[in-house]
Amino acid sequence: MLKITVDENIANAEEVFSRLGKVELFPGREITNEILKDSVVLIVRSITNVDKKLLERTKVKFVGTATIGSDHIDAEYLKKKNIAFADAKGCNAEAVKEYIFTALAEVLIQKNLKFKDLSLGIIGVGNIGSKVVECADALGMKTILNDPPLKRKTGYEIYRELNEVLQADIVTLHVPLNKNGIDKTFHLFDYKKLNQLKDNSVLLNSSRGSVIDNEALEKIIDKKNLTVILDVWENEPEVNSSLLQKVFIGTPHIAGYSYEGKINGTIMIYSALCKFLNIKENYSIELPKVDNPVIEINKFESTEKTLRDIFGKIYEIKKDDKDMRIFLNEESNLRRFNEKRYFDLLRKNYPLRREFSNYTVVVPKEEKELLNILSAFRFTIA
């Protein structure tokens, strides 16, 4: 029987992949070469480095990652060994977009700012970045886009130079981690680039931790009076605790952790594996309905406060931030606990989070601008 080794934290993994073979589940950081000796299929998340060391002298012929990023995969080695590969690009794009604007709504309320008065620099305009653009446009924001590969491909002047994007009021990163080459993104934001950001601006990173030099950011965050939202950290699962103390919102790499995003990732890899095995797909899933799916707007104060109130009923981002900071408390027992393990446990035990498309918002018909905004976020309007 086909032996399939799967990261135990992949949603519905055993239920889905057991249709194709014998499934063995392991924590992602504990998958070893010895475990894979007789495996033909390996399915991972971003915490498992898939390379020669892991795969040498195994029977693995198919590798799937239920993630949008693939910097943990040695693609050249897989190609050399004729090992098939599939990723799940785009699976959680909606979830990350929702994370970005939920965080921004918190920032703008605190700073007493309005979306329509601000410019948004978007670095990386792929599956996620393009969705961020759509919502920013609906909010009346000025968007400044940077995506060198897309500019080379299309020639469109809409894609601006990085230096121009750095002058936006808000800058958000949605790029893969490339350690080399013309589109290198490792430490794309080094001290020099961080120093080019506008004073008092907002910086968000939900892509990969090493896209920003975390030590440089720690040094410059106070100098530039930056408001920083970080979901990803250099050297995960280690976290720069000094930097965590300085950011406005810090979370444990969960921006894309919606239930829909996780299921999408699983199904995308299942489909790719069926194709590889030349087997007809025979699995589908009906997601459970959400509790309390109707949100009523009784009083409209401002776009920012209204959105924060709506988003907050679905996703409490400040709770994720609070949970992340627990181990900063010197009196906490977690100081005697392995902080790396705590980071992984936050992700493993992350509560069910549903996407905005599951909810209906009751809005006064005269609020046409708000209706358009909520539609951009995929809410049903009543």
Q: How far apart are CA 118 and CA 97, in angstroms?
A: 18
Please pick, among 45, 174, 253, 347, the residue that the annotation labels catalytic.
Answer: 253
Is residue 118 within 8 A of residue 136, CB to CB? The reply is: no
CA nearest neighbour of 164 among 188, 131, 213, 198: 198
Please pick, among 72, 174, 208, 347, the residue that the annotation labels catalytic.
Answer: 208
Is residue 268 within 8 A of residue 86, CB to CB? The reply is: yes
The verdict on whether 57 is a catalytic residue reads no
Q: How far apart are CA 231 and CA 206, in angstroms?
A: 5
The verdict on whether 187 is a catalytic residue reads no
Q: How far apart are CA 3 and CA 23, in angstroms?
A: 6
Q: How far apart are CA 88 and CA 365, in angstroms?
A: 39
| Angle at alpha carbon of residue 148, lines to 143 and 150, rounded to 5° | 80
Q: Pull the structure tokens for residue 165.
A: 């994007």
| Sign of the torsion formed by the C-alpha atoms of 321, 323, 324 and 328 | positive
Cis peptide bond upstream of 288, omega within 30 = no
Q: How far apart are CA 128 and CA 299, in angstroms?
A: 32
- The DSSP 8-state label assigned to residue 39 in this structure reads -
Q: How far apart are CA 358 and CA 293, in angstroms?
A: 7
The verdict on whether 378 is a catalytic residue reads no
CA nearest neighbour of 163 among 138, 146, 180: 146
Residues in a beta bridge with 50: 73
- Give DSSP secondary structure letters for 158-225: TB--HHHHTTSSEEEE------SSTT--TTSB-HHHHHHSPTT-EEEE-S-GGGB-HHHHHHHTTTTT
Catalytic residue numbers, as ranges: 208, 236, 253
